[in-house]
Amino acid sequence: MRISIQPGSGIPGSVQLFNLLCFAIACGQFPPGCRLPSTRQLAMQTGLHRNTIHKVYRQLEAMGLVETRAGSGIYVSRSARQVVNYSRGLGENLDRSRQVLEQVRQGIDQLLQQGFSLEQVRDLLLAEIDWRLRCSAQVLVCVPNRDLGTGQLMAQQIQQTLGIRVQLVPLEELATVLDQIHSGTVVTLHYFLSAVEAIAQPRGARVLTVEVSDYAREIALIRQLPSYACLGLVSISTALLEVAEVIVHSLRGDLLVLTAVISDTERVGSLIRRAHTLICDEASYPTLRVLVRQARADLIRTPNLVCATPHIGEAAMAELRRELGGIPGAGGDREAGGSDLQSKETH
């Protein structure tokens, strides 16, 4: 990923760099174990002072996203992306079934070798399965108050795709909620993992992280926009808009980028009148489509309206389904509908 800072954007360079690195880690462009550019390299790429870059890396390290290896450099930490490859159940063919059965037997043998009795192994397995089922019955999406818009996008996507009830809980209120429900599964983003685990694990809750989309389709579209075009970004999330603006400036410094939360109808109206292309999240799309249609008679040119890819990546959503026990019978049709929605454009 090319890291570029836009000096005249009004967003401090350190914030731009932090957002770009968080996005790259969250969507897997910098995978666990990947060595990140040195402060000297980033200083040459971005024009930022090395002390500023060092502070950004320290902030990422405090969040558990990166780790410093003495004499080697800075790397994406292994905990930054939770990849759990548990058994996906008995397979569709005999070979797969045999492989899974062998894994189960090996796990039991390892516990027996550690001194557990067969009855104790059975109790341990049943307790773990029971705990996971109880946690899966109550799913929470947790983000800090400043990112509630992003959390709302995540909660809506999980609820619509998996067909389950999801509760959005601010990080600042997570302890109180978990004390009331006693068990549950908390879904969050990688850069909030440490803070969420510190609250959830002592209370017996399960924590899962999801990987955000890499927005490859939107990035390709932005690269193809005419020179010096006006791009409008609309979302229910202020935090997401800030990150998106930094990324767009990094990709295309010549574009005029305007942002608006969907609830600010006056500013959204200004974007509709000025923008060559409007990109919005799924939650904003129905409202924005209506506003564009209402304004069409007064427009010299109707902007291209693009509904962005869902915030949680497709693979991450599939993994979440598995982690929650498969969710039998839910989500297949919803996922297809979501994919259709992503490709809609209004000219």
Q: What is the pLDDT of residues 140-152, one digit of tens each?
A: 999 999 999 999 9
d(CA 178, CA 202): 10
* Collapsed DSSP state (helix, strand, coil) of residue 60: helix
- Other beta carbons less than 10 A from residue 170's beta carbon: 15
Is the per-residue pLDDT at 83 higher than 60?
no
Q: What is the pLDDT of residues 298-319, one digit of tens each?
A: 998 999 999 999 999 889 999 9
Residue 37's contacts (CB-CB under 8 Å, 6 or more residues apart) are 3, 45
Residue 324's contacts (CB-CB under 8 Å, 6 or more residues apart) are 136, 139, 162, 164, 185
Dig out the tokens for 154 from the structure: 């995540």
Q: What is the pLDDT of residue 132?
A: 65
Residue 25's contacts (CB-CB under 8 Å, 6 or more residues apart) are 60, 65, 66, 76, 80, 81, 190, 191
Over pLDDT 70: what percentage of the chain? 82
Is the per-residue pLDDT at 328 higher than 60?
no
If you average pLDDT over every residue of the chain, what do you get? 82
- Position with higher pLDDT, 341 vs 260: 260
- Position with higher pLDDT, 220 vs 46: 220
Is the per-residue pLDDT at 10 higher than 60?
yes
